[in-house]
Amino acid sequence: MLKLMKYDWKRNATMTLAGFIILLVAQIVNLTVGWRNGWSEQFVIVIACMLFFFSGFLVFLMACQTFVANIKAYSRRLLPLPTIYTIVSPLVLMFGLTIVMFLLFAAFDAVFSALYDKTSFLVLLIEQLTAGEIAVSIALAIWGSVFTTMVIFFSMAFSRIVEGKGGTFLGIVVCILIFTIIPWVEDILFSTSEVYGFIRLSPLESGNGNMSLTFGSINSLEWMTLAFEAGVLICLVYGTIYLIERRIKL
pLDDT at site 238: 92
CA-CA distance, 247 to 182, in Å (whole number)? 24
This model's pTM is above 0.75: yes
**Alpha-carbon distances, residue 1 vs 7, 8, 89, 97 (angstroms):** 10, 11, 7, 18
> Of 198 and 10, which is predicted with more confidence?
10
Interval 24-57: pLDDT, tens: 999 999 989 988 888 888 888 999 999 999 999 9
Per residue in 120-178, pLDDT (tens digit) is 888 888 888 788 778 878 888 888 899 999 999 999 988 888 777 777 888 899 999 99
Higher pLDDT, 125 or 106: 106
Nearest partner of 174 among 210, 192, 150, 138, judged by Cα: 150
Q: Where are the domains of the chain?
A: 1-128
Q: Any idea what the Cα angle at residue 111 is, between residues 22 and 43, rounded to 5°?
A: 70
Would you call 82 helix, strand, or coil by DSSP?
coil
Q: Which residues pair with 214 in a beta bridge?
A: 200
